[in-house]
Amino acid sequence: MKKNRDLPTYVTKPFLPPLAEFEPYLKEIWDTRWLTNNGKFHQELEQKLCEYLGVKYISLFSNGTLALITALQALKITGEVITTPYSFVASTHALWWNKIRPVFVDIEPDFLTIDPAKIESAITPQTTAILAVHVYGNPCRTKEIQRIADLYGLKVIYDACHAFGVMQKNKSISNFGDLAVLSFHATKIYTTFEGGAIVSHDEKMKERIDYLKNFGFADELAVVIPGINGKMNEFQAALGVLQLKYIDKLITKSKEIADFYRKSLSCVRGINMLNEMEETRHNYSFFPIFIDEKKFGKSRDQVYSFLKNKEIHARRYFYPLISDFPAYKFLESANHKNLSIAYNIALRVLCLPIYPDLNHEICKEIVNKIKECQDE
């Protein structure tokens, strides 16, 4: 086989603007020596993100995990929190770091987000909140979740780390819940190297979050709450400002790849894909396929290894389930009987490479290799 310069191919690859476009920002940081602590680019990015996302308040963080941990602090969440096992492990870690007990509830089969119909039976007198995840950028059933939260007096926090730029009925999904958390990690479609944010809805909450991420300082002399250092620095913020100029183009290009995969894999026996949601603008940062071993003829892990041998690194997100990691397996809610949909999905899922400048030839190659694996 001809050596292709785009191999090995990983599941994602960060987009960076031309270096020359970043240099003036660097020069300014060098000249002013303002490296962090609510500098010019930090302020500019908060304002621009509010405009781009159509949200009222945003607080930038050095990463998404600290933003999640701080969001739970900001809402004073304690006791038990209902959450999904089908996510990146940081969603549950954020609970544990706050000494909160995670209670896992199964996902629904269409979009793989937490199943509202199973939430109520998991509520106990200790339950204080629901931490739901817009997994793969698929919006949770926000209306039903809010109805339950209102009925039982629970807070709702959305881990929106996959969902940058996702809109439903022309409304940003980061508007839902008491707070929503974003990540700008290198693997996300919108990146600031590392980074994150909390979206909030009123000035008081925004102020509280900003104190919390800066050691609890309200002014030069007053520490009003036990805070942490979660601040985003000027390098991250400057890159963020620049990346915003590209994000719509990046989403459009990723959509083309998703459309290609969808079209070319739809006729392959034993491969299932998620539908697109109605009235939703997705961000196409994941392309999960689900392999039905009986119909496809090979197991998910066989396909994974076959591709890996050809230097195509698909990933089994989200396998194992968070509830299957030794760190959380002992929890009562972690048993498979309770989480059978999530468990079955985790055994079948394979996320294919997708990112804005993924070469079309490679996409074709990936599809061909999957078919080859089936025929082998």
Ligand X SMILES: *Cc1c(COP(=O)(O)O)cnc(C)c1O
What is the nearest approach in angstroms of ligand X to the Cβ of residue 71? 11
Q: What's the min distance (Å) between Cβ of 196 and ligand X? A: 5
In terms of CB distance, is 165 or 370 closer to ligand X? 165
Joined together, the tokens standing for residue 197 give 């944010």
Site for ligand X contains 196 (CB under 6 A) = yes
Q: Does 183 bind ligand X (CB under 6 A)?
A: yes
Give least dist CB 158 to ligand X, A: 10
Closest CA to 240 of 295, 190, 290: 190
Using CA atoms, how far apart are residues 322 and 228, in angstroms rounded to an integer?
26
Is 90 one of the binding residues for ligand X (CB under 6 A)? yes
Altogether, the residues listed in the chain come to a count of: 376
SS3 content of the chain, % helix, strand, coil (to 5): 40, 15, 45
Nearer to ligand X, 296 or 318 (CB): 318
Q: Which two tokens stand for residue 142?
A: 């926000």
Query: Is residue 88 within the footprint of ligand X (CB under 6 A)?
Result: yes
**Shorter beta-carbon distance to ligand X: residue 240 or 298:** 240
Which position's Cβ is nearest ligand X?
Answer: 64
List 59, 63, 73, 333, residue binding ligand X (CB under 6 A): 63
Indicate the pairing of strand 80-83 with strand 127-133.
parallel
Strand 155-159 and strand 127-133: the pairing is parallel
- The reply on whether position 161 binds ligand X by CB under 6 A is yes
**Minimum distance between the CB of residue 248 and ligand X, rounded to whole angstroms?**
21
CB of 133 to ligand X, least distance (A): 5
| Binding status of residue 339 toward ligand X by CB under 6 A | no
Using the minimum distance from each CB to ligand X, give the nearer residue, 163 or 291: 163
Residue where the block lists tokens 């491969």: 271
Give, as ranges, the residues between 120 and 149 that touch ligand X (CB under 6 A).
Answer: 133
185: nearest Cα among 176, 177, 194, 174? 194
Using alpha carbons, select from 337, 321, 302, 352 the residue that is nearest to residue 84: 321
* Contact (Cβ atoms closer than 8 angstroms) between residue 138 and residue 112: yes
Is 59 a binding residue for ligand X by CB under 6 A? The answer is no
Say how far apart CA 77 and CA 127 lie, in whole Å: 9
Q: Do residues 290 and 317 touch, judged by C-beta distance below 8 A?
A: no
- From the CB of 154, what's the least distance to ligand X, in Å? 20
Regarding 321 and contact with ligand X (CB under 6 A), the answer is no
Least CB distance to ligand X at residue 295 (A)? 30
Q: Return residues touching ligand X (CB under 6 A).
A: 63-65, 87-88, 90-91, 133, 159, 161-162, 183, 185, 196
